[in-house]
Structure 1
């Protein structure tokens, strides 16, 4: 058991550039602000973001001398910010903010739509992977994630049997590959078979230094026509592995294609039928397609061939071939945040990193691309995203589970990959501070104040909760039966400059139809300055190791329970649960 002095060391942490650093638990430090659109921080954010978008478009005009991430003459895009808490808003689709830009080239196009709106259909490229993994969780569930893929894909078991002995350099060890490793790019399988093979694009590259290939060495499919299942497995089982399983993340379209075959075997239904039954129909995705839709519903830069609008991805569609509108993309994101198709427990497990990349701020999930932003108070906020690129199209779905907010981006035209990346940064950097300010202000209104009552011996008991520039709710006074509990806590932790801060745990329960009980946990510690740290060990937040360390009668001294009136949204009381007290808010 770690002693109190080590506990105190672990409670040092956070904001880079601040004089003091705090150590909150992972997750939001305040309950998220419902009705974010009514908050002043939201209005400031929309004004700032609007100005940013206008500047991006202006800089992309051919007459501009500024470097831009957009070719404003040829590239169009759509953007939406949505919340899972905005049901009943005037626009009818729960959208907090939206922006559409239609380029002159689109306005004058001979095919496709002439103006971009929320129902305009784009290709979403690898954004399809997110829908495929969601579909897997909805239909097959989590129970199969750790199944070896050979259990469901007979071609891979046959490849093991046909392999010339144990050769892990030239052949994938398919018996080691699980479905979750396919979903999270940890299978060690290469990126594609045939689709981007140079030999299929130009049969003679000998003048470029490549040797000539026999007919058997050149993929028979991929560019001119999608590979059949037989062609795909004939090629992928003879493709060299990149790495052993779970060694390093390697982005793989082929892995998601194999996952879709496993899904069909588990459910005994085709992928497109599952998509229609479990995503399109339940969520009302009226502008989403598995196959090439009619030209008049979509945006088609230049023409259908050069943009890859009409390219059939065949069996690779689950990895990168779907079509959707910005409204449908947002609907799927909102359904994830709302647990509309999955249980809250499944969603929480899904919205977690599975592996790191070489960048400390970039992790990988299944199939999430997870970016860690430093918030205004220095703590980490994770942005769960899935991007996609195909031909002239790029997409982005981004979720902020800490705030129940997400945003989506679709773009069509030249240079869309760079544009969508820049727009994602611009939105996140405007949105996250605004969400934190809104949550902070809402918490100030609801939770701060004086709470009082009588203890077990009919003596005075009280709690004063305030807020400063640090994270969470700060306990500035705490008296139980006329005893100063902050002094008691200092004695327990061995600190003479203790701070007690309360953080929400996301545990809550409605009771008696009129009240909502919300659980918070306290972190007992002291802010400290960054010059105390030598390296990552001494500088790391280890507050999570000491939650529930001090108990009284099997109840944590750090456990606090707020009672809110569901009619008014106001706090009625707080219970420091180890003390068996209920203190009423003045």
Structure 2
């Protein structure tokens, strides 16, 4: 690491010099720098926590103020923990004016139009338009386009086929565009101006629109790519896209208020904004192709059920779920990454410790309907935001997601700390080996704070920089504070004790020292390299940062196994 010694304190500089000379590449981070992800177990009883209850009341007041002036727009917002059956926050607003052919009262079962999330595979039988020269500028490179590229908007394919200004009336020659022929543009697409596209019509028109990038060059939001995934699903499953979604997702999860197409006419649960007949997007059928990209309908309860299933790994195995819940590519916004097809927002201003939080979202908007589905894996949190009408919009629902996180997450953080104090905080000891360790939960720091860490009479935190110093020339007077963070690994349980894995991380430096070091580099957070520091001190195959807690049925820890030190401590 090329950290400038002039920016370090004497003790940190000594630690850095030792780490460099020892050949161990043990980088020293200069302040609390937790690993990305949860720093404590998510609270399992948030609805009973007084801080959460106060935040809920405050957020409800904000939504009441927001919707007070809405005359024709419905709003449904709900937030739940996957550990509780019911949402701990629920808000539904029915405006005074609406289309009376739908529901007259908005609640958690009210059906809205939303965007969809599709599954993955590969396709190679879409062709260039006859007459085009075959090259990478005119023809998609199907040898390089993968399912992952389609799902994460990295295929380089264009955004839409039916969104073409040539189909709308207007004198475009006045804007410098050429005169249109008699058959100017797409004649299908499922918008209000076009009938739904059949698969054959999609194949017919696809090659008329050139690619934007070579695959994996940059991000282009592509409904076309999602539509292709739907075609792949049909080819692989042997079912229609609608039947596949019904059999694979809707029926297993009991999502009785979710539809891949417009609900039956006798379904009166949908909220329909008041509009002229030619602007009623509730009835717009996007057809078998574009339905996969934006034709779904669902309710608040079904969204919460889906989010709970995702975070509880009911649709995929835990490993597959964790793989799915990861970014795939950066975007031009520093605060936004993309997954498959997640839109992942990154925030550093919502928790007391100021750490990085990732919010997994999927948004959807079609004229008069805007929705956002938000997951916060660090807190096992699911949020559904559904709106209908013309007083909201896509920016408004994103703002509601941001507001929900800003209002509720600090309270959930406090709730998690309160539960962790009961479950983990305290002193653990083994008198036979003169070993002890104390865990506490502070208000602003992440994870479990470790103090009085003594093993066989030796202060561990005071000797962190000495453990790999094989020449015996130990450095004295350097105390490096440490904290424990959950690794997500567990064993046992099911009626008996459970082993829960934690990892220790040692921090040094003050916030000012962190800022000074970061100021030397053009990228932010240079000092925070926890990912490169874990599992660095290993003694006879066991890491010194490896701590396993034994937890009873009540969730309370009874002992700690310091596996690298080969010492077991009982809670006292």
TM-score (norm: length of structure 1): 0.86
SS in structure 1 at match of 2:387:
strand
Q: Residue 325 of structure 1 aligns with which residue?
A: 299
- Preserved contact between residue 26 and residue 536 of structure 2 (Cα < 8 Å): no
Q: 1:401 aligns with which of 377, 386, 408?
A: 377
After superposition, the Cα gap between the structure-2 partners of 1:488 and 1:12, relative to the gap in structure 1 and judged at 3 Å, is closer
Within 5 A, what are the aligned runs for 1:502-513?
502-511=484-493, 513=495
What's the offset of the Cα at 1:419?
2.4
Distance 2:84 2:145 in 1: 41
Worse overlay, 572-581 or 171-180: 171-180
Within 5 A, what are the aligned runs for 1:333-482?
333-374=307-348, 375-417=351-393, 418-454=395-431, 458-468=432-442, 469-482=444-457
- Preserved contact between residue 72 and residue 391 of structure 2 (Cα < 8 Å): no
Distance 2:378 2:329 in 1: 20
1:29 aligns with 2:39: yes
- Preserved contact between residue 491 and residue 498 of structure 2 (Cα < 8 Å): yes
Within 5 A, what are the aligned runs for 1:75-94?
75-87=73-85, 94=86
Distance 1:462 1:277 in 2: 55
- Preserved contact between residue 186 and residue 246 of structure 1 (Cα < 8 Å): yes
Within 5 A, what are the aligned runs for 1:121-160?
121-124=111-114, 127-128=115-116, 130=117, 132-133=118-119, 136=120, 144=121, 147=122, 149-150=123-124, 154=125, 156=126, 158-159=127-128
Q: Residue 184 of structure 1 aligns with which residue?
A: 152
- RMSD of aligned alpha carbons: 2.2
What's the offset of the Cα at 1:241?
1.1
SS in structure 1 at match of 2:44:
coil
Q: Residue 173 of structure 1 aligns with which residue?
A: 141
Q: 2:504 aligns with which of 522, 528, 532?
A: 522
Worse overlay, 365-374 or 38-47: 38-47
1:321-379 per-position Cα deviation (integer Å, ceiling 9, x unaligned): 01111111111111111111111111100111101111111111111111011132111
1:224 aligns with 2:194: yes
1:552 aligns with 2:564: no
After superposition, the Cα gap between the structure-2 partners of 1:561 and 1:10, relative to the gap in structure 1 and judged at 3 Å, is same
Distance 1:544 1:95 in 2: 34
Q: Residue 12 of structure 1 aligns with which residue?
A: 29
SS in structure 2 at match of 1:416:
coil
Distance 1:176 1:237 in 2: 17
Q: Residue 269 of structure 1 aligns with which residue?
A: 239
Distance 2:258 2:568 in 1: 52
- Preserved contact between residue 167 and residue 184 of structure 2 (Cα < 8 Å): no
Distance 2:531 2:537 in 1: 13
Distance 1:430 1:537 in 2: 26
Q: Residue 177 of structure 2 aligns with which residue?
A: 210
After superposition, the Cα gap between the structure-2 partners of 1:9 and 1:549, relative to the gap in structure 1 and judged at 3 Å, is closer
1:199-228 per-position Cα deviation (integer Å, ceiling 9, x unaligned): 111275334432112245422223320122
Distance 1:163 1:526 in 2: 66
- Preserved contact between residue 76 and residue 102 of structure 1 (Cα < 8 Å): yes
Q: Residue 62 of structure 2 aligns with which residue?
A: 52
- Preserved contact between residue 118 and residue 326 of structure 1 (Cα < 8 Å): yes
1:73 aligns with 2:71: yes
Q: Residue 110 of structure 2 aligns with which residue?
A: 120
What's the offset of the Cα at 1:464?
1.4
1:532 aligns with 2:514: no
Q: 1:564 aligns with which of 515, 526, 551?
A: 551
- Preserved contact between residue 373 and residue 383 of structure 2 (Cα < 8 Å): yes
What's the offset of the Cα at 1:444?
1.9
- Preserved contact between residue 28 and residue 507 of structure 2 (Cα < 8 Å): yes
Which ranges in structure 2 are unaligned for 5 or more consecutive residues?
Answer: 2-15, 469-474
Which ranges in structure 1 are unaligned for 5 or more consecutive residues?
Answer: 14-20, 62-71, 88-93, 137-143
After superposition, the Cα gap between the structure-2 partners of 1:512 and 1:32, relative to the gap in structure 1 and judged at 3 Å, is closer
Q: Which structure: greater helix fraction?
A: 1
Distance 2:139 2:359 in 1: 36
Q: Residue 96 of structure 1 aligns with which residue?
A: 88
Distance 1:224 1:32 in 2: 48
What's the offset of the Cα at 1:117?
0.8
Q: Residue 472 of structure 2 aligns with which residue?
A: none
- Preserved contact between residue 357 and residue 378 of structure 2 (Cα < 8 Å): yes
After superposition, the Cα gap between the structure-2 partners of 1:112 and 1:348, relative to the gap in structure 1 and judged at 3 Å, is same
Worse overlay, 573-582 or 527-536: 527-536
SS in structure 1 at match of 2:491:
strand
SS in structure 1 at match of 2:39:
coil
1:143-200 per-position Cα deviation (integer Å, ceiling 9, x unaligned): x5xx4x21xxx2x2x449x67554222222222211111101111111111x211111
- Preserved contact between residue 132 and residue 138 of structure 2 (Cα < 8 Å): no
Q: Residue 140 of structure 1 aligns with which residue?
A: none
What's the offset of the Cα at 1:401?
0.6
- Preserved contact between residue 330 and residue 407 of structure 1 (Cα < 8 Å): yes
What's the offset of the Cα at 1:484?
2.2
SS in structure 2 at match of 1:582:
strand
Distance 1:287 1:182 in 2: 28
Q: Residue 91 of structure 1 aligns with which residue?
A: none
- Preserved contact between residue 80 and residue 98 of structure 1 (Cα < 8 Å): yes
Distance 1:540 1:50 in 2: 39
Distance 1:123 1:329 in 2: 12
SS in structure 1 at match of 2:535:
coil
- Preserved contact between residue 307 and residue 393 of structure 1 (Cα < 8 Å): no
1:107-166 per-position Cα deviation (integer Å, ceiling 9, x unaligned): xx3321111011111111xx21x2x23xx5xxxxxxx5xx4x21xxx2x2x449x67554
Distance 2:213 2:53 in 1: 48
Q: 1:39 aligns with which of 35, 43, 49?
A: 49
What's the offset of the Cα at 1:105?
0.7
